[in-house]
Amino acid sequence: MSGLDRPGARELLDRVLDPGSWTSWDTPVRQPEPRTEAYDAELERARSRTGLDESVVTGAGTIGGRPVAVIACEFAFLAGSIGVAAAERLVVAVERATAERLPLVASPTSGGTRMQEGAMAFLQMVKISAAIEAHRRARLPYLVYLRHPTTGGVFASWGSLGHITAAEPGALVGFLGPRVYEALYGGPFPTGVQLSENLYEHGIVDAVVAPEDLRAVAIDVLDVVTRPREGLPEVQELPDEPLADVPAWDSITRSRRDERPGVRRLLRTAASSVTPLQGTGEGETGPALLLALARFGGAPCVVLGQDRRGQQTALLGPADLREARRGMRLATELDLPLVTVIDTAGAALSKEAEEGGLAGEIARCLAELVLLRAPTLCLLLGQGGGGGALALLPADRVVAAQHAWLSPLPPEGASVIVHRTVDRAPEVAQAQGVRSLDLLRSGIVDRVVAERPDAADEPDAFLGRLRQVLEVELVGLLEQPDEERLAARLQRYRALGLA
């Protein structure tokens, strides 16, 4: 993308906001004292060139009819650098957004701290970060769109604190600008490291989005993160379906069919306003896990699901579970229900998994999930092998597909432990009570969705029934008081197996 294709702050607002909805919050700025004549001249040239009085604009508007607050940089004004006046404008806007309970949309593009103001400008990162964190702790969405270039103190403060972060294609995004690196270290920075596409691959940003596509993406995100928890459309309770008494090994065999619908098809067929997210936000991606925002009917949620397709090349590992924990945090901070989808033959057994802390990540997922303040719904969609499956199980409600199963190990592994051979796996599976009907009778599962006779043979019809069930369950959870729901969840798992 050439420089001519990159919009400035005001052009970006025109592209993303509903026409005529923008209201500026900016008031005249007061530049700090003392200043040099040279700096005053630079400020005057920047004002003349851009028609702006500072490097940031702030205000409010609507996107798809939903009110938002906006803070955006203008790179043409002293390289979008942030000094005392710009920082104060940003913080006042963030504080106002928090007070008015508005989602905050930020679009940085900056060389970082304004060097003409020295250490005082540098320290402005602290108050900006504090204001953003206060907004997040108020359970208000903070959405970031990184534009070319975003570096230095801007990237290391409000550019890196988004709940959801997208970046402009081909944008230079990094902490230390390449020109500074070359001057300090006598050589060029490695090619491609600080490109938005590379950050996406490493789980730092959730998406690379062209400016012309940003409005559509923002509408989908806001349709989930700002959807009210109260006043959802009424849903009718669904009757329990008759379920065929299928042997455990038959269900296990069916759950492994390549044609069986997984979490990707579930989202594509049964959900709306789907926004896939990428990685932990901290430099890792989990190829075996899918994280997304979505709606099932009128019910918004965060979805984190074990991906059948991703596990064809990489079994569930520590990075996947760290990404799952990011999903848990998002659900809490955005005040959204969490839907977990279990579909795994088992966690990775490897040197890398052990050294990456797989057991600890399973433990942390269990601890965080069972105590999560957000409403939780688990969907046991297919295979439920071992600790990798259990890590996403504890929930207020658990729904299972008819041929889904849950076992401490894949049945072949359990057979080896008990009988020293894999040949008795069908017998062990039946004895362990791993199938959905057994899980329903034991209280591990609350509802089973029928397969007629196999989801792989009727995927769209099955997913249509599943969509109805998920919406009913989510609406029911949202109607319960948080403390009452959490207490019931803890009691459920405290008493499991004691009746």
How is 204-228 classified by DSSP, letter by letter? SSSEE--HHHHHHHHHHHHHHHTS-
pLDDT of residue 231: 64
Average pLDDT over residues 37-41: 97
Q: What is the maximum alpha-carbon separation in the chain?
A: 86
Buried-state track 359-397, b at ≥16 Cβ within 10 A, e below 16: eebbebbbebbbebebbbbbbbbbbbbbbbbbbbbbbbb
Query: What does the pLDDT look like over 379-412, one tens digit per residue?
Result: 999 999 999 999 999 999 999 999 999 999 989 9
User: Rounded to whole angstroms, what are the CA distances from 496 to 178, 367, 380, 442, 446?
Assistant: 57, 16, 18, 8, 13
Q: For Cα atoms 67, 70, 74, give the angle at the middle one, nearest 5 degrees.
A: 155
pLDDT average, residue stretch 344-361: 93
CB distance 270 to 464 below 8 Å: yes
Residue 48: which pLDDT band, with cuts at 50, 70 and 90?
A: very high
Mean pLDDT, the chain, integer = 94
Provide the pLDDT for residue 466. Answer: 95
Q: What is the pLDDT of residue 313?
A: 85
**If you classify domain 3-224 with CATH, what class do you get?**
alpha beta
Q: How far apart are CA 66 and CA 300, in angstroms?
A: 15
Residues in the chain: 499
Query: What is the per-residue pLDDT for 1?
Result: 40
* pLDDT of 227: 77
pLDDT at site 230: 64
Q: Is the bond leading into 34 cis (omega within 30 degrees of zero)?
A: yes
- Say if residue 436's pLDDT is above 50: yes
Determine the CATH number of domain 242-495.
3.90.226.10
Residue 140 has a pLDDT of 97
Query: What's residue 2's pLDDT?
Result: 42
Residue-wise pLDDT for 220-249, tens only, equals: 999 999 977 666 667 777 777 788 899 999
The three-state secondary structure class of 470 is: helix
Domain with CATH 3.90.226.10 in the chain: 3-224, 242-495
Asked if the bond preceding 188 is cis, omega within 30° of 0, the reply is no
C-alpha separations of 161 from 90, 345, 426 in Å: 14, 35, 49
Question: Rounded to an integer, what distance in angstroms lies between the CA atom of residue 64 and that of residue 403?
Answer: 41
**Cβ–Cβ under 8 Å, residues 133 and 98:** no
Q: Residue range 14-32: average pLDDT?
A: 97
Reply yes or no on whether the pLDDT at 108 is more than 90.
Answer: yes
With H, G, I as helix, E, B as strand and everything else as coil, classify residue 338. Answer: strand
CA distance 465 to 449: 7
Render pLDDT for 65-81 as a digit per residue (tens, 0 to 9).
999 999 999 999 999 99
pTM of the full predicted structure? 0.94
